[in-house]
Structure 1
Amino acid sequence: MCTMTWFTADDGYELFFNRDERLSRRRAEPPSVKSDGEVHYLSPTDADAGGTWIAVNAYGVTVCLLNHYQFEQIATYKDWISRGEIVRYFAETEDVSDIKQRFFALNLHDFRAFRMFIVDRSGRNYLCVWDGHTPRVEQNVRTPKSSSSVDARHVKSVRRDLFNRLDLAESQNSSDYVDYHSSHLPSRSKESVCMHRDDAKTVSLSHVRVSESGIEFRYADGSPCEVALSDPIHMSFARQPNSSTDACCSDVQELLAAS
């Protein structure tokens, strides 16, 4: 239950992410600087499971995760690993060129279905998809991306049609995107990008900006129709990736890597 959009610019990109959650879940912790090994990144924290759904690191790489409800596996005795741990694992990414290899190396059967979006400082992007059976990686996918646990195909179609009607694909205006993510069109309901249902709603909006001047993370801690984005948290760029540097966090890698 989320919606993600982005646009690229000459010196980077901007990304917007609505997180939709059940009302029974606890309020997330707002973004802060974290570190896995030597790589620093900005991310909020899921208060229930401890992972995250979005992170941007000091190399200008952003990682986002959307649940893949249409392909959720049948509940079993299996003790699933939180999908939010995958975002933390990939938040250490310096160079996206090995994303496909790293994704296929994971023991994905420990996770429920998901789609993970990764974009680097140049605007190059990857969509890693796990449907519970077969992994795949798509490159240079188009905005927007959305998910819903209720009537998913219809809801995603409505949100995509609104994006197209607003000509957002031709816009590089942050305010246009914030308006979209705050929208109740066609009605304040399961269909709207700012989603409201009896059991769930949009609980936050994240806005990441990566440009030649650095990295910014703004966060609306609540439905964006009600709560404004915060002042940005800033982070400077790290040095460019060094092929001799292994920045992996061994503990997380041991947890997630294929056995």
Structure 2
Amino acid sequence: MCTVSYIPKGSGYILTSNRDESPLRVTYSPEEKELKNGTKIIAPIDSEKGGTWIATDGANKTACIMNGGFIKHKRQLPYRKSRGHIIYEAFSSETFGTFADNTDLCNIEPFTLVLVDENKLSVLIWDGKEKHIQSLDSSKKHLWSSSTLYTREDHAKKMNYFQEFLRLNESDPENLLKLHGLYNDNLFVLDQPHVKTVSTTQVVVSNGESDLCYREKVYDHEKKELLY
């Protein structure tokens, strides 16, 4: 939910997401979920709230949500519903654009939602009071960090690392997993006492088809460390 990269690739794109969460929180491996309107998506599911932070429809559409808007906010509990259900609502709408324009976010905790539909890339940022919809250039590389866990200085360092890594390495799926610190810790990996990078999820879209790869980091509760 906390570090997301987007890389355009010919007839598609690669979207990779690191989830920073309590290592004690259980997540179910990706599964197909049919929404109320009949749309089918593939997503890992959070066991506690039943939501997700990333999903694809098996074709061109992908959605990924991060905690926080532009700046770190002070929580004002209770909220009306979990942000993990926002992605379901996005896929239940006729289009992502329709969802962004019409969704009611009153009393929802701030978030940043990346929405990709074929060659359209947009970001919906909810700051707790207003919606901000950004249309981005889908032919360019992008990187986002959650404002609840990373400062602007943290993000700037990650951006520099991101750009240098892509300058020196081919931006294929495996290298992007390395960039996100799947095998070795780097600036993309969070390691705090109660919040850590617990998994990396990657959606690869090519020629109108998508594939979702979900990789967990194994946490040793006795040693209180991540095992790779």
* TM > 0.5: yes
1:194 equivalenced with 2:195 (yes/no):
no
Aligned to 2:222: none
RMSD, aligned CA: 2.5
What corresponds to 1:218 in structure 2? 213
Partner of 1:188: none
Structure 1 residue 160: Cα displacement: 1.2
Whether the 8 Å CA contact 2:180–2:189 is kept in 1: the answer is yes
The superposition leaves residues 20-52 of structure 1 with CA deviations (integer Å, 9 ceiling, x where unpaired) of 01234x221110111112211100111111110
Q: When you count strand as a share of all residues, which structure comes out higher?
A: 2
The equivalent position to 1:103 in structure 2, one of 100, 104, 112, is 100
- 1:254 maps to what in 2? none
Structure 2: distance between partners of 1:210 and 1:93: 21
Alpha-carbon separation, structure 1, partners of 2:40 and 2:47: 20
What residue number does 1:204 align with? 199
What secondary structure, in the 3-state scheme, does the structure 2 residue paired with 1:167 have?
helix
Determine the C-alpha separation between the residues in 1 that align with 2:133 and 2:113.
9
Aligned to 1:6: 6
The residue aligned with 1:174 is 173
Q: SS in structure 1 opposite 2:162?
A: helix
In the other structure, the counterpart of 1:248 is none
Match of 1:35 in 2: 34
> Compared with structure 1, are the counterparts of its residues 84 and 151 closer, same or farther at alpha carbon in structure 2 (3 Å cutoff)?
closer
1:66-145 aligned within 5 A: 66-68=66-68, 70-76=71-77, 78-92=78-92, 95-96=95-96, 99=97, 101-122=98-119, 124-140=120-136, 142-145=141-144
> Structure 1 residues 199 and 172 mapped into 2: Cα distance closer, same or farther (>3 Å)?
same
Letter in 1 for 2:104: N
| Corresponding residue of 1:234 | none
Whether the 8 Å CA contact 2:93–2:99 is kept in 1: the answer is no
Q: Distance in 2 between matches of 1:120 and 1:111?
A: 24
In structure 2, list runs of 5 or more residues that go unmatched: 220-225
Structure showing greater radius of gyration is: 1
Structure 1 letter corresponding to 2:34? S
Task: Give, in angstroms, the shift of residue 93 of structure 1.
Answer: 5.1
**Partners of 1:94 and 1:163 in 2: CA distance:** 34
Find the counterpart in structure 1 of residue 223 from structure 2.
Answer: none
Q: CA deviation at 1:109?
A: 1.6
Give TM-score scaled by structure 1 length.
0.74
Query: For structure 1, which runs of at least 5 residues remain unmatched after alignment?
Result: 186-191, 228-259
Report SS of the residue matched to 1:45. Answer: strand
